[in-house]
């Protein structure tokens, strides 16, 4: 007898490609397979037209100019391009980057790597809720500060800091503001026309699009942002990101973002309702469980809970019927407790005994009760040993 697949509740790690997105991509794997840089024949012209149409559609979703969208391989590359590019835009000038202690590893490690180029990195602590006080960011800005980076939504605990206020403070001090919005784009309202964000990273595979494609929004006016590229040779993307453009992925990216924006309000309300049902079920059946992160300022489909006095590794093994994680997929194989949870004040054992539930477009109400029941059974199993 074949075993049923686990219930997928790890949508913060990645999402399945929406069939409507796949349908949009397929022609560019078949007849329209041209290289967008081939300027001498119809195959290249059609590929270039598809890329520019996708760029325009993505820009429209974010209320920005199309020439402010730079395609990359994903949000990790976008974060690196933003941080390395901004700090090294002026050769020989030392600077610093300020970030919170709970940023994604691709932000924190990119910031630390800048030490090799003569720059500094500064980490700002967060409150027990996971939120950062904008005044704490402002206080960390010094004369050499070039860039501040604060995520629009945390990848592990889903909290939503006040990035609009932080961006205003940065501009008042003449400092650039970058946000990693990989978890936020398409899930919460975010119009760049209404903010002072200079650089914004996002990725397709978090919004039911393909893996391997992302983008960096780079403000081109008031002020015009200068970046030093990470990748050279070819001159694509205005010289900021050389390399053959992945036309099918770019087309899928645009379609995925459009669908998320179109369906955002209704889907956010649905997921918020499912998340609250899951939280209440867990509170009832596992009353010792501790919710990580602020519940009011939070992604609709995210719930992170820690269970005191249980073995975290064994807990996840006992949850084989659920596809869940303990934290960010990018650091889940390290064996170390989450730096995010440690920054919230959790001790190492409690941080390890954490389950992140990421609800998404395919999550059904019946799966919520099953997930809460599976967690309760796994905890009971350990307590009975």
Active-site residue numbers? Answer: 330
Q: How many helices (H) and strands (E) does the chain have?
A: 11, 12
Q: What is the Cβ-side half-sphere exposure of residue 317, based on CA atoms within 13 angstroms?
A: 7
Other Cβ atoms less than 10 A from the Cβ of 338: the count is 26
Q: Cα–Cα distances in Å, from 9 out to 31, 136, 253, 271, 356? A: 36, 34, 22, 12, 8
Q: What Rg value do the Cα atoms of the chain yield, rounded?
A: 21
Whether the CA torsion 80, 83, 87, 90 is positive or negative: it is: positive
| Location of structure tokens 């030490």 | 115
Beta bridge partners of 218: 199
Beta bridge partners of 21: none
Q: Which of 138, 125, 101, 132 is nearest to 294 (CA)?
A: 132
What angle is formed at CA 92 by the lines to CA 83 and CA 84, rounded to 5 degrees? 10
Distance CA 230, CA 70 (A): 13
H/E element, 302: strand 302-306
Residue 44's SS3 state is helix
Cβ-contact 57, 51 below 8 angstroms = no
At 243, list the tokens: 């390399």
Cβ-contact 59, 69 below 8 angstroms = yes
Distance CA 142, CA 281 (A): 47
Distance CA 178, CA 80 (A): 11
H/E element, 197: none
Residue 192's SS3 state is helix
The greatest distance separating any two alpha carbons of the chain, rounded to the nearest whole angstrom, comes to 72
Distance of CA 114 to the CA centre of its chain: 22
Distance CA 205, CA 202 (A): 9
């Amino acid at each position: 007898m074949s075993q049923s697949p686990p219930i997928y509740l790890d949508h913060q790690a990645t999402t399945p490609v929406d069939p409507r997105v796949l349908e949009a991509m397929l022609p560019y794997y078949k007849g329209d397979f041209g290289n967008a840089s081939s300027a001498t024949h119809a195959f290249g012209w059609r590929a270039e037209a598809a890329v520019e149409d996708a760029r325009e559609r993505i820009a429209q979703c974010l209320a920005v100019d199309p020439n402010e969208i730079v395609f990359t391989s994903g949000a990790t590359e976008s974060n690196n391009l933003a941080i390395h590019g901004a700090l090294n835009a002026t050769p020989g000038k030392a600077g610093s980057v300020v970030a919170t202690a709970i940023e994604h590893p691709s932000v924190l490690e990119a910031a630390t790597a800048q030490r090799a180029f003569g720059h500094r990195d500064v980490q700002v602590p967060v409150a027990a809720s996971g939120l950062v006080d904008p005044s704490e960011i402002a206080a960390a800005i010094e004369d050499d500060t070039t860039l501040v980076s604060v995520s629009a939504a945390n990848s592990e605990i889903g909290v939503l800091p006040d990035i609009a206020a932080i961006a205003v403070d940065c501009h008042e001090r003449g400092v650039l503001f970058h946000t990693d919005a990989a978890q936020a784009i398409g899930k919460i309202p975010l119009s760049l026309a209404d903010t002072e964000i200079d650089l914004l990273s996002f990725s397709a595979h978090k919004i039911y699009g393909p893996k391997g494609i992302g983008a960096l929004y780079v403000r081109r006016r008031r002020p015009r942002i200068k970046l030093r590229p990470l990748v050279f040779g070819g001159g694509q993307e205005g010289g900021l990101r050389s390399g053959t453009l992945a036309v099918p992925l770019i087309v899928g990216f645009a379609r995925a973002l459009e669908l998320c924006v179109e369906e955002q309000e209704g889907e956010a309300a649905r997921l918020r309702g499912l998340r609250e049902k899951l939280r209440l079920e867990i509170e009832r059946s596992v009353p010792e469980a501790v919710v990580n992160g602020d519940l009011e300022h939070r992604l609709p489909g995210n719930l992170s809970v820690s269970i005191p006095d249980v073995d975290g590794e064994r807990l996840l093994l006992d949850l084989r019927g659920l596809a869940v994680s303990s934290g960010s997929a990018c650091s889940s194989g390290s064996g170390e407790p989450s730096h995010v949870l440690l920054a919230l004040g959790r001790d190492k054992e409690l941080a390890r005994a954490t389950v992140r539930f990421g609800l998404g477009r395919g999550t059904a109400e019946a799966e919520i009760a099953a997930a809460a029941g599976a967690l309760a059974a796994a905890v009971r199993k350990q307590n009975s040993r």
